[in-house]
Structure 1
């Protein structure tokens, strides 16, 4: 971060010559100087090059207007205004709040000015660097010798081995020097929340609108378990979103609590909807408790916000309606909702305290912000027992945390502060909107078919679009609640031909798995693939180049599909899995073959039925896991699952949510769950390479899916 932008020269010797001298002095200080053509060019450079650490300009020529525009981009950026004896110093109070310094034009003083600029640049870097990251950087710069862990000793050990040197060169010196022991006292303690770690937590809480925040280094899977272990004592009852992440199922397996399920909706496309308003009422909860063995009134609730497909709740309604002491919003996929006005009221930390309740929000800082994998945050608003909560925190947190992950959490928060942070999120939203418009344009201009996009009409303005009753033609959710669920614009779902939002199957179709495989072979990885839809996430790291590669991939797929190329030419990796089967097959034959299978099994009806009736809970997940630990399980084929108690969670991709929980039994009433699973397996049996990924089931070499169940004699 050593680039200084200079607005000059000015074709006046008494101004140009001092600037030329200053240029040389700045270069001697290690700065790189650049000369924008005009103010517009300067603003674009600042917007697109965050390494610029200062701007030098002529006060008489640019004055207040330029300062105000720069402040909108980065209110912390140092500004250096050059004046002369005749300059008018009409500086407002607002401008004095900027990081602005004035220098007079003069010869022979360039070195002194350059030293001042170096000082102010260091102060700027110090201002924008958060506390723990700053302490870690300083520690690495000091280069202390340690006689504690980790054993590679700042990378020295790697350089003593041929393969170690490859590792060292790949990751770089600072990465390894920053991998330090918890014994380094000047960084404080992640477990005791002292020193720079405590400062980082306070810094993050202020940034995300929380009262207290905790940094977690093993992902939101761990954050979810920490909150659950604290919020629900053994023997208590918890309301849990049936579309929960599997980490919450693991929580239920670890802790002896009784789950009562909140059942969400979904549309025929398999897009995950939210929990209807009626599920949050006292009457609905009382009925569920009465129907669940050992259940009492819930002490805690867990809501997935947003859904995998990008639907956000009106969280205020949930906070006010749910009659439980604490509510946990699992917001792993939306750590950015506090930083753009379109998300107001749609996140766990939105608004003020909820009287008599504690609100938790867990976020995967690494998923859509700039943090390392496994970076996660817990935010809290409300009164809680900090000491007991910290016991749950330490229960799941290593005593040897990776400080680079911790620093990346804090840095991700720092990136979102102020005007630069607002601009980051705004760009993400704008790129997603631009991509949506491009898909619409290509669809209108294409001959024959083209991909569609899941969204309402008229999406020109940035907003979260409401899933309203009466708009089923675009969203496909029957009996939607008014002002309850909203679609996040940066979660972009592309639709392939073959099925409408209401589940009407066309005579011909292109299953989305074909498109996903085609894109993958061209370096574009899709987040989630449904039967006829593809999910793309427009995070802050997505730029126009990446977005254009998706558009190019989709248009190339259409061209190749319309030419009816051979599978061997269009999908060589798929062809390689079974050359004999795919040797003469063409892409349209493959697409229509899979489409016919989906039609024959009536996928839309089967999928909706599979999630309409839940399997019967015979044992809680905790009880079932204890049986599994004791060895009271056996293996059966998936087709034999009716009447048997599943030992594990069974979760197919797509749609990526559990259909059977540990301790549940598929009955004749819930037979559709098994029929749905078997239908997904059928596609892989007919077409190699399209085997369904089912967590909790083991696929054998001969194509059978095996599951573990509670042993018969134990039942």
Structure 2
């Protein structure tokens, strides 16, 4: 809906009556007219209601200062200034960029002025809409009748059956009209990067400070494979973050490359740390190449930035020191870093291109910007052979891409442009910092225990907070200075049970209990560790959602302190195993799980499991080929020592591979197996607490098997 805001407290007839006539004329054209009470009310209306398409005010009263205030919030928004013919337009040539339209107070001119305002608001909408989306909207409005794919032709096929009609009504007509065939020449081609698709990718590249950008319609898992397929031909050696996403493991299974791993750190909470600076230095890489059979000097390196828990690198150091022609930052979780100064120097597209090197950044647009699922982007800084790169792109891209995903990815870029996008990210950062402070305040005010936050002691400055080697709060030992930084919008809450030194306390509240409690109240936690919970304060989290989370956390404390029954406090968990949980209370369950983690020495075991690497007997690609040939068998989990794993094995959370295809768990890497067994045992002891472990297969008797090569 188009909304026009009128800031008008004039109190004189010759000004009031023309405005009343103008309101009637605007409303007849479909505009909604609202009257803010003062300047601050108007500015808040613009900030909080993006459907405002214009502002009317009295130049005699407010003048240029108000224009600049509006411009700071949305530099494209049309401003309509009214003045009588005695007014002095004290405005300079440079101020005309403020998009001000001037009118006089005259009776009988309302229809003509409303027409001009309608044209200005239409120009505004045309200006803020990016090229592909604009072309797609135009195509839908034309209502063409096609005999080519897709066969449902605007949804008509769905409406020919009862079930299809329900489906059609749920999504609405435009969702189907915009699901068009790649055969439409006026929309160009995503595969050929022509027409409006090309314009969209150029628009995105300018927005994200890239030399070249690509829209990917099936997620960053695919974006990662496209980049790796182009940058690492068969027979090459690649440097891979051991904390990589499993899509990069799949890349190594698909392509015959030899991996060498960067070794990241980890603290007692299980929070993923960064890769030490020494791992990027030439002498370290040369030594690893010499120690790896069949390895050559690597040409492609991939680093996860940020880590799952919100740690960002000093990317300038990495780009300058890594001696590989292709450097890839898997930045799935931080597509917003180009839009706030606090991230400068901490993302792949920061700064200028480096001669002789290509820097990639893959981003999940749908994760922390606004786009449909599977919307992703590849950004490139540096020169690549575009025709060859596009072959890698087409290998992984459907010849029938979903145009709604393409448009939503482009719209995400449009939302970030200019002052509006900067304010969106600033508000997100401010909201996260405010939430952090509120948790600290509640902790100080609470009787007994309350949640804590994983962060520095002083968070008054709006920045990415440095992990200082002198500080103890982060729990990482011997870290590099000016290397890792905590993103303020990634909020990790800590539950009782572990001391600041990483030692388990006598009593504790496992974070999984809190996560289940929140889930029952419609709040989904991004990641649950043993005694920590991760929340993402994206642009979609408003103040009401933050308050709901605070309220739910205080409700958990109250219910826990009252020692309510599992049946009452966690009914979904109770229903999974009523006989087991009958009569059990929350404190009993919490302490029982906590004592199990003490028994297994969880922090120590988890640290060792991710600190030691299994031995690579063959590449992931070679192991996968063996599995495809059927040269595999299933064995009990405890019998995998000394056997070559056919699959990757990774527990969620955190979704980081423990064992890769072609690797062998040896006596030296036995903690890997012990950690997996502990996760299985917790699930066996307490129904509903099973860990999702990719690569382990649960049998009918509750035991687990793995696939190994014969």
TM-score, scaled to structure 2? 0.99
Post-superposition offset of 1:489: 0.4
Instruction: Identify the residue that residue 537 of structure 2 maps to in structure 1.
Output: 538
Instruction: Identify the residue that residue 277 of structure 1 maps to in structure 2.
Output: 277
Instruction: Identify the residue that residue 525 of structure 2 maps to in structure 1.
Output: 526
Instruction: Identify the residue that residue 456 of structure 2 maps to in structure 1.
Output: 456
In 2, the alpha carbon distance for the partners of 1:511 and 1:41 equals: 45
Contact 2:334 2:363 in 1 (8 A): yes
Instruction: Identify the residue that residue 469 of structure 1 maps to in structure 2.
Output: 469
Instruction: Identify the residue that residue 698 of structure 2 maps to in structure 1.
Output: 699
Q: Which runs of 5+ in 1 are unaligned?
A: none
Instruction: Identify the residue that residue 565 of structure 1 maps to in structure 2.
Output: 564
In 1, the alpha carbon distance for the partners of 2:18 and 2:544 equals: 41
Instruction: Identify the residue that residue 486 of structure 2 maps to in structure 1.
Output: 487
In 1, the alpha carbon distance for the partners of 2:157 and 2:101 equals: 47
Contact 1:269 1:501 in 2 (8 A): no
In 1, the alpha carbon distance for the partners of 2:262 and 2:173 equals: 49
In 1, the alpha carbon distance for the partners of 2:668 and 2:39 equals: 70
Instruction: Identify the residue that residue 248 of structure 2 maps to in structure 1.
Output: 248
Q: Which runs of 5+ in 2 are unaligned?
A: none
Higher mean Cα deviation, 701-710 or 669-678? 701-710
Contact 1:9 1:19 in 2 (8 A): no
Instruction: Identify the residue that residue 127 of structure 1 maps to in structure 2.
Output: 127
1:608 is aligned to 2:632? no
Higher mean Cα deviation, 7-16 or 641-650? 7-16
Post-superposition offset of 1:669: 0.6
1:220 is aligned to 2:210? no
In 1, the alpha carbon distance for the partners of 2:437 and 2:194 equals: 49
Instruction: Identify the residue that residue 578 of structure 2 maps to in structure 1.
Output: 579
Contact 1:209 1:349 in 2 (8 A): yes
Instruction: Identify the residue that residue 687 of structure 2 maps to in structure 1.
Output: 688
Instruction: Identify the residue that residue 347 of structure 2 maps to in structure 1.
Output: 347
Cα deviations across residues 465-512 of structure 1 (Å, max 9, x unaligned)?
1111111x2000011100000000000000000013431110000000
- Figure out how many residues of one structure are paired with residues of the other and give that number: 710
**Any residues of structure 2 matched to 1:43-442 within 5 Å, and which?**
43-442=43-442
Cα deviations across residues 508-565 of structure 1 (Å, max 9, x unaligned)?
0000000000100111100000000000000100011111111111111111111111
Post-superposition offset of 1:76: 0.3
Contact 1:9 1:15 in 2 (8 A): no
Say which SS state the counterpart of residue 533 (structure 2) adopts.
strand
Q: Do the aligned partners of residues 654 and 500 (structure 1) sit closer, same or farther apart at CA in structure 2, a change above 3 Å counting? A: farther
Contact 2:68 2:98 in 1 (8 A): no
In 1, the alpha carbon distance for the partners of 2:339 and 2:212 equals: 18
Higher mean Cα deviation, 542-551 or 373-382? 542-551
Cα deviations across residues 261-292 of structure 1 (Å, max 9, x unaligned)?
00100000000001001111111111111111
Instruction: Identify the residue that residue 20 of structure 1 maps to in structure 2.
Output: 20
Higher mean Cα deviation, 652-661 or 304-313? 652-661
Say which SS state the counterpart of residue 380 (structure 2) adopts.
strand
In 1, the alpha carbon distance for the partners of 2:609 and 2:283 equals: 25
Post-superposition offset of 1:121: 0.7
Post-superposition offset of 1:183: 0.3
In 2, the alpha carbon distance for the partners of 1:10 and 1:205 equals: 47
Instruction: Identify the residue that residue 34 of structure 1 maps to in structure 2.
Output: 34
Post-superposition offset of 1:462: 1.4
Cα deviations across residues 79-138 of structure 1 (Å, max 9, x unaligned)?
011111110111122320121110111011110000000111110000000000000000
In 2, the alpha carbon distance for the partners of 1:41 and 1:591 equals: 48
In 2, the alpha carbon distance for the partners of 1:216 and 1:97 equals: 35
Say which SS state the counterpart of residue 181 (structure 1) adopts.
coil
Contact 1:79 1:100 in 2 (8 A): yes
1:592 is aligned to 2:591? yes
Say which SS state the counterpart of residue 61 (structure 1) adopts.
coil
The runs of at least 4 consecutive aligned structure 1 residues that moved more than 4 Å come to none
Say which SS state the counterpart of residue 37 (structure 2) adopts.
coil
Cα deviations across residues 366-393 of structure 1 (Å, max 9, x unaligned)?
0000000000000001111000000000
In 1, the alpha carbon distance for the partners of 2:7 and 2:56 equals: 6
In 2, the alpha carbon distance for the partners of 1:705 and 1:263 equals: 28
Contact 1:269 1:500 in 2 (8 A): no
Post-superposition offset of 1:671: 0.5
Cα deviations across residues 164-206 of structure 1 (Å, max 9, x unaligned)?
1111111111111100000011000000000000000100000
Higher mean Cα deviation, 485-494 or 545-554? 545-554
Contact 2:370 2:412 in 1 (8 A): yes
Say which SS state the counterpart of residue 522 (structure 1) adopts.
coil
Say which SS state the counterpart of residue 404 (structure 2) adopts.
helix
Say which SS state the counterpart of residue 97 (structure 1) adopts.
helix
Contact 1:511 1:531 in 2 (8 A): yes
